[in-house]
Homo-oligomer: A and B are copies of this chain.
Amino acid sequence: MKVGVLTGGGDCPGLNAVIRAVVRKGTQEYGYGFIGFKDGWRGVIQGRAVPLDIPAVRGILPRGGTVLGASRTNPFTTENGVRGIRENLAKYEVDALVAIGGEDTLGVAARLHAEHGIPCVGVPKTIDNDLSATDYTFGFDTAVGIATEAIDRLHTTAESHMRVLVVEVMGRHAGWIALHSGLAGGANVILIPEQRFDIDQVCAWVASRFEASYAPIVVVAEGAMPTDGDLVLKDATTDSFGHVRLSGVGEWLAREISARTGNEARTTVLGHVQRGGTPSAFDRWLATRFGLHAIDAVRDGAFGTMVALRGTDIVRVPITEATAKLKTVDPALYAEAGVFFG
Query: Residues on A close to B: CB < 8 A?
Result: 10-11, 13, 15, 21, 24-25, 28-29, 58-59, 61-66, 69-71, 135-136, 141, 144-150, 152-157, 159-162, 165, 180-181, 183-186, 212, 214, 266-273, 275-278, 280-282, 284-285, 288-289, 292, 310-312, 336, 339-340
Please determine whether B25 and A339 come into contact, CB atoms closer than 8 angstroms: yes
Distance in angstroms between the alpha carbons of A288 and B152 in the assembled complex = 16
Q: Name the one of B61, B267, B280 contacting A145, with C-beta atoms under 8 angstroms.
A: B280
Q: Name the one of B69, B271, B281, B336 contacting A148, with C-beta atoms under 8 angstroms.
A: B281
Give this chain's copy count.
4
Distance in angstroms between the alpha carbons of A272 and B65 in the assembled complex = 26
Q: A183 — which chain B residues lie within 8 A by C-beta?
A: 284-285, 288-289
Distance in angstroms between the alpha carbons of A120 and B310 in the assembled complex = 30
Q: A288 — which chain B residues lie within 8 A by C-beta?
A: 183-184
6 residue pairs, one from A and one from B, having the closest CB atoms? A153-B277, A65-B156, A64-B156, A153-B276, A65-B160, A148-B281
Please determine whether B180 and A11 come into contact, CB atoms closer than 8 angstroms: no
Q: Name the one of B147, B157, B214 contacting A11, with C-beta atoms under 8 angstroms.
A: B157
Listed A/B pairs (29) with beta-carbon separation below 8 Å: A58-B212, A62-B186, A65-B156, A65-B157, A65-B159, A69-B160, A144-B282, A145-B280, A145-B281, A148-B284, A152-B277, A153-B273, A153-B278, A154-B272, A154-B276, A155-B276, A155-B277, A156-B277, A157-B272, A157-B276, A180-B281, A183-B288, A183-B289, A184-B285, A266-B272, A267-B271, A269-B271, A289-B336, A311-B311
Distance in angstroms between the alpha carbons of A277 and B165 in the assembled complex = 14
Distance in angstroms between the alpha carbons of A141 and B180 in the assembled complex = 15
Q: A270 — which chain B residues lie within 8 A by C-beta?
A: 268
Q: A25 — which chain B residues lie within 8 A by C-beta?
A: 339
Please determine whether A272 and B58 come into contact, CB atoms closer than 8 angstroms: no
Please determine whether A144 and B339 come into contact, CB atoms closer than 8 angstroms: no
A61-B184, A135-B311, A150-B273 known, 6 other contacts, Cβ within 8 Å? A135-B312, A145-B280, A145-B282, A146-B153, A155-B276, A184-B285
Q: Name the one of B62, B63, B141 contacting A282, with C-beta atoms under 8 angstroms.
A: B141
